[in-house]
Amino acid sequence: MSKVNKPLYFYLMLFLLTTLIGAFLLYLPYTGKKPINFIDALFVASSAFTVTGLSPVDVGTQFNIFGEIIILLLIQIGGLGIVTVAMLTLIFLNKKISINNRILFMITWNIDEPGGVIKLIKHLAIYSIAT
């Protein structure tokens, strides 16, 4: 696989993994007020993660507070971007962020120079939480 395709493959795998995890969590019986089929759970998770707002079911009547929290987390992760959330996690865990991860973040946000990447991530998190 060429270097050009690695970020695309990485994003595709993160998208699929996050959507599937969200769908499985929404499919669990204790996240809903009534049973939901897996296709609807997958659609809701994908829609929340991509921040489109579409849903085949009424979210307010279908899901309890746990299901709604999962949907809100998917919306937040999708809105900020999965790479940004991963980098924020590394920052909060006081882990060193490799140059490859910084380059991936720069590609995500179309940044030309690596200086200030960590500062930008922190500002994005603060702005997202504040709004």
Q: Which domains does the chain have, with CATH numbers?
A: 6-80 (1.10.287), 82-130 (no CATH)
- Residue 127, Cβ neighbours under 10 Å: how many? 10
The answer to whether the CB of 54 falls within 8 A of the CB of 40 is: no
**Which pLDDT belongs to residue 17?**
93
What mean pLDDT comes out for the span 45-68? 92
Asked if the model's pLDDT at residue 7 lies above 60, the reply is yes
> How far is Cα 71 from Cα 45, in angstroms, rounded to an integer?
7
> How far is Cα 116 from Cα 88, in angstroms, rounded to an integer?
14
**Which pLDDT belongs to residue 84?**
78
pLDDT tens string 76-112: 888 877 777 777 777 788 888 778 777 877 877 777 7
The answer to whether the CB of 88 falls within 8 A of the CB of 43 is: no
**Which pLDDT belongs to residue 43?**
97
pLDDT tens string 36-54: 999 999 999 999 998 888 9
Residue whose structure tokens are 């990485």: 10
43 compared with 34, residue with greater pLDDT = 43
In sequence order, what are the beta bridge partners of 71?
Answer: none
**Which pLDDT belongs to residue 100?**
79
* Nearest C-alpha neighbor of 41 from the set 76, 74, 1, 78: 74
- Global confidence as pTM: 0.74
